[in-house]
Chain A
Amino acid sequence: MSSPATTPHDSTDAHGHDLAQNRFWIFTQIAMLLAVITGLELVTVYLPFVAWILITVLVVLSTVKFMFVIFYFMHLRWDKAFCTILFFIGLVLAGGTMWALLKLFGAEASKPLTSAALAPVASEVRAA
């Protein structure tokens, strides 16, 4: 008995089904990975290392989670590059603003004046 003839449409459906099935497993595996990374982040803050190492580890782990979500769950991996560029424009502007603000307000001259530091100035003003 000859096997039933496969039309191009059947082949397309089969390919689409395989792709969808593959994505189901990809999404499930990524979700498990993200859960594990969240657990790792939680453990990291209790590790007895210097702060800058812990902060670096946390930033890297968060970035990995962030990238997995945008490239797989948000389909950027399969979308046209323009979507990635558009989103990263916003992301870079936001990141740049955050960096600039933190640098600006983290500077020594940005520290708020306390009443003790203001006392000599106030007495000079009163004397004048």
Chain B
Amino acid sequence: MSSHAAAATLDPHDDPTTTTGIPNKKLLMWAFLASDCMFFGCLISTHLIYRLHPPPGTPSARQVFSIELTSFSTFILLMSSLMMALAVNAIQKGNLKSMRWSLLTTIFFGLIFLGCQVYEFRNFVFEKHLTITNSILGTTFFTLTGTHGLHVLIGVIWLTAMLIYSFTGRLTEKQSIDVESMGLYWHFVDIVWIVIFTAVYLLEYI
């Protein structure tokens, strides 16, 4: 085994065959996440700007939001991030069985998060009468959290596809970069929620 190949086996974070020394898939994912930061930055700014000048008749966000449910969702998403990190750790060790269980738990937590969001949206629309069209708060809130929810849904579909793929026997330690790239996406969804939880929900209670 050449020294370069040995190094590649030892450290899954490096790829000596590329110019940057970083696997291309990982580089692509980081570039995408950097661009997604700007996308979510604009959506969060829009929400905060309209909260600065709420037009007359805008419902009070504090009366609409349920901080208990949102805190639970935040905890669930943090735990899903832990399971995702453990899945990446497992595939880098070549432990496929452990990776499958970690992926399955991540999917489970992702589905709980989505379930909480669907419940929250239903509650806002039918109980609190806040819709995407009847107030500026509804428009910015549903656009922001809905876009985040869509990211979570895409993540869950990706995780499920990877879990199914792992049973074909083609996913090995050497393809750990595929799981790692997916993990980067999932953790990004988590960090966006960390910002949304503070900027959109918690600030309303001050």
A interface residues with partner B (beta carbon < 8 Å): 12, 16-17, 20, 23-24, 27-28, 30-31, 34-35, 38, 41-42, 44-46, 51, 54-55, 58-59, 61-62, 65-66, 69-70, 72-75, 78-80, 82-83, 86-87, 89-91, 93-95, 97-98, 101-102, 105-106, 110-112, 114
User: Which of the residues B42, B89, B191 comes within 8 Å of A27, measured between beta carbons?
Assistant: B89
B185 to A, closest residue via Cβ? A74
Task: Flag whether B150 is at the interface (Cβ < 8 A).
Answer: no
B88 cross-chain contacts in A, Cβ below 8 A: 75
Q: How far is the CA of A30 from the CA of B45 in the complex (A)?
A: 29
B interface residues with partner A (beta carbon < 8 Å): 10, 13-14, 20-22, 26-27, 30-31, 33-38, 40-42, 44-46, 48-49, 52-53, 55-56, 67, 71, 74-75, 78-79, 81-82, 84-86, 88-89, 92-93, 180, 183-184, 187-188, 190-191, 194-195, 197-198, 202-203, 205-206
A-B contact list, 24 entries, CB within 8 Å? A16-B10, A16-B93, A17-B93, A30-B82, A35-B78, A46-B205, A55-B203, A69-B191, A75-B180, A80-B14, A80-B22, A82-B22, A86-B27, A89-B34, A90-B36, A97-B42, A97-B45, A98-B41, A98-B44, A101-B45, A101-B46, A101-B49, A102-B49, A105-B52
* CB of A26, distance to nearest CB on chain B (Å): 9
The 5 closest A-B pairs by CB, nearest first: A90-B34, A94-B41, A31-B82, A45-B205, A90-B37
A93 touches B37 (CB 8 A): yes
A69 touches B30 (CB 8 A): no
B78 touches A31 (CB 8 A): yes
Q: How far is the CA of A87 from the CA of B22 in the complex (A)?
A: 14
Q: How far is the CA of A27 from the CA of B86 in the complex (A)?
A: 8
* CB of A123, distance to nearest CB on chain B (Å): 21
Please report whether the interface of chain B is mostly helix, strand, loop or mixed according to DSSP: helix
Given contacts A42-B67, A83-B30, A90-B38, list 10 more A-B pairs with CB under 8 A: A38-B78, A42-B202, A45-B205, A69-B191, A73-B85, A86-B31, A91-B37, A97-B45, A101-B42, A105-B49
B188 cross-chain contacts in A, Cβ below 8 A: 74
B82 touches A98 (CB 8 A): no
Q: How far is the CA of A54 from the CA of B45 in the complex (A)?
A: 20
Q: Which has the most chain A C-beta neighbours within 10 Å: B27, B55, B190, B194?
A: B194
B35 cross-chain contacts in A, Cβ below 8 A: 90
A82 cross-chain contacts in B, Cβ below 8 A: 20, 22, 27
B187 touches A20 (CB 8 A): no
A75 cross-chain contacts in B, Cβ below 8 A: 13, 88, 180
B85 touches A27 (CB 8 A): yes
A65 cross-chain contacts in B, Cβ below 8 A: 191, 194
* CB of A8, distance to nearest CB on chain B (Å): 9
* CB of A35, distance to nearest CB on chain B (Å): 6
